Amino acid sequence: MTDRRTFLKMSALAGGALTLGVTPDVTSDEFATPSPNPPGPAAVRAPLTILILGGTGFTGPEQVEYATARGHRVTLLNRNKTRPDFFKGRVEQLVGDLNDDVSALKGRTFDVVIDNPTTLPAWVRNAAQYLKGNTRHYIYISTLSVYSDTSRPAQDETAATTPMPADLDPYTLDRANASKYYGALKTFSEQEVARQYPGIHTIIRPTLIVGPLDRTDRFTYWPYRIDRGGEVLAPGAPTDPVQFIDSRDLAEWTIRMAEQHTVGTYNALGPVTPLTISEMLYGIKAVTTAGAQFTWVPADFLQDQKIRPWRDMTVWVSPTGRSAGFSRFTNARALAAGLTFRPLAVTAKDTLDWNRTRPAEELTALARGAVGGISGAREAEVLAAWKAKQQKSGD
């Protein structure tokens, strides 16, 4: 188990961290020296009582760190199983299960509730039997996956969301169905939040959440792979767009939204300006010394090789057809509400440092591409097939 304080706290790396526009002929040595650490978060004048549902997984620990640093009083409600007593002595721990018994909330009042884990709308309804009328602000962490149409670029929070199939009762679905109906269940959970907490709720829809503590390897694959050096399979075209958000940026903004009592619906994604897959990969390379070299393989060839976007080539999807707008949602509303981003170099370096502290079995799984990314052997096969195709075309 990795302690919440083990990953590096650093600010921008010189040069490439400031622009994110790193070009292929730039060496990593030029960006190897970190600038001084930024000051910690300032305490607020009016501390809040904050209940965090979950709080010990991925984004939750960052919320706790930032909230307590700013002087807020934090209570967690979870099963106390993921990281038992992770914040013992620093926050109040209530034991409960959103799917079952949440009676620990009986008679309690909070200024703010932050709902991190809910996928099933029954969880919202279950907690509301104690929280409705006993909080001034309910913040629900949803997902960009609620949107039903990813073919159109520049969509905002008014875009159509995914409805539940008419023949299904969303309140009776269990965890086993969560992935199959994920977008629809999150949509219905948003609607349940609105019903239970009218006028005092905030819906935050993040894109891919990345950074230290993320065991899905959906971004971690790239710092890990690039740090190994050698020839790296790069997906699609260098100009293909990507969007993601550092878990710490999401967590800290969520706490600031609570402090400001900001309600409404917001897409939480970054960076501030559009980022391409080549800028992301070369930006990650800039914080390593391995000298990785990228070979770009077109999307159609990857499809022929059964290399899946998002799962095998993490972060990336082809910006065509039904996924043309997948990595092109607008974040204008969130920016206006104060969402900020740390540089890519910070996210990459911190993720890489944290990844080195993971248990051996997790690192083995990452090397095999068991969760996200592909194995070195499979990568070599695809690169060899691509080169053979190019050679044949040139004959």
Query: Residue 3: pLDDT above 80?
Result: no
Q: What average pLDDT score do residues 84-106 get?
A: 94
In 3D space, the residue among 143, 119, 127 whose CA is nearest the CA of residue 52 turns out to be: 127
Give dist(CA 183, CA 119) in Å, integer. Answer: 9
Report CA-CA distances (Å) from 326 to 153, 223, 274, 321.
7, 22, 13, 10
Angle formed at CA 155 by CA 154 and CA 159, multiple of 5 degrees: 170
- 361-372 tens-digit pLDDT: 999 999 999 999
pLDDT at 82: 84
* Domain ranges (residues) in the chain: 1-38+214-242+275-323+345-395, 41-206
pLDDT at 138: 98
Query: Residue 169: pLDDT above 60?
Result: yes
The CATH architecture of the domain made up of 41-206 is: 3-Layer(aba) Sandwich (3.40)
pLDDT at 140: 98
Give dist(CA 77, CA 186) in Å, integer. Answer: 20
- 253-271 tens-digit pLDDT: 999 999 999 999 999 999 9
pLDDT at 317: 98
| Higher per-residue pLDDT: 277 or 32 | 277
Model confidence band, residue 395 (pLDDT cutoffs 50, 70, 90):
low
pLDDT at 41: 77
Q: At what angle do helices 182-196 and 121-131 cross, to 10 degrees?
A: 20
**DSSP conformation letters of 84-133:** TTTTBTTBEEEE--TTS--GGGTT--EEEEEE-S--SHHHHHHHHHHHTT
Query: Residue 275: pLDDT above 50?
Result: yes
Question: In the chain, what percentage of residues exceed pLDDT 90?
Answer: 84
Range in 1-5, 71-75, 196-200 the model is least confident about: 1-5
Query: Residue 30: pLDDT above 80?
Result: no
Give dist(CA 314, CA 207) in Å, integer. Answer: 13
Query: Residue 280: pLDDT above 70?
Result: yes
Model confidence band, residue 40 (pLDDT cutoffs 50, 70, 90):
low
DSSP three-state, residue 309: strand
Question: In the chain, what percentage of residues exceed pLDDT 70?
Answer: 90
Query: Residue 38: pLDDT above 50?
Result: no
Backbone angles phi, psi at 79, to 5 degrees: -80, -5
pLDDT at 12: 32
Q: What average pLDDT score do residues 139-160 get?
A: 97
Query: Residue 39: pLDDT above 50?
Result: no
**155: Cβ contacts below 8 Å, ≥ 6 apart:** 147, 149, 325, 328, 329, 330
In 3D space, the residue among 223, 343, 272, 251 whose CA is nearest the CA of residue 67 turns out to be: 251
Query: Residue 172: pLDDT above 50?
Result: yes
Conformation bin of residue 85: beta by default, left when phi > 0, alpha when psi is -120 to 50? left
- 326-374 tens-digit pLDDT: 999 999 999 999 999 999 999 999 999 999 999 999 999 999 999 999 9
Q: What average pLDDT score do residues 178-185 get?
A: 92
pLDDT at 85: 87
Please confirm whether the linkage preceding 238 is cis (ω < 30° from 0): no
CB 66 within 8 A of CB 41: yes
Q: What average pLDDT score do residues 228-243 get?
A: 98
Neighbours of 209 (CB within 10 A): 23
Q: What mean pLDDT is reported for the chain? A: 89
Give dist(CA 215, CA 362) in Å, integer. Answer: 8
Q: Give me the amino acid identity at 90.
A: R
Please say whether the dihedral angle defined by the alpha carbons of residues 86, 92, 98 and 102, taken in this order, is positive or negative: positive
In 3D space, the residue among 186, 180, 81 whose CA is nearest the CA of residue 123 turns out to be: 186
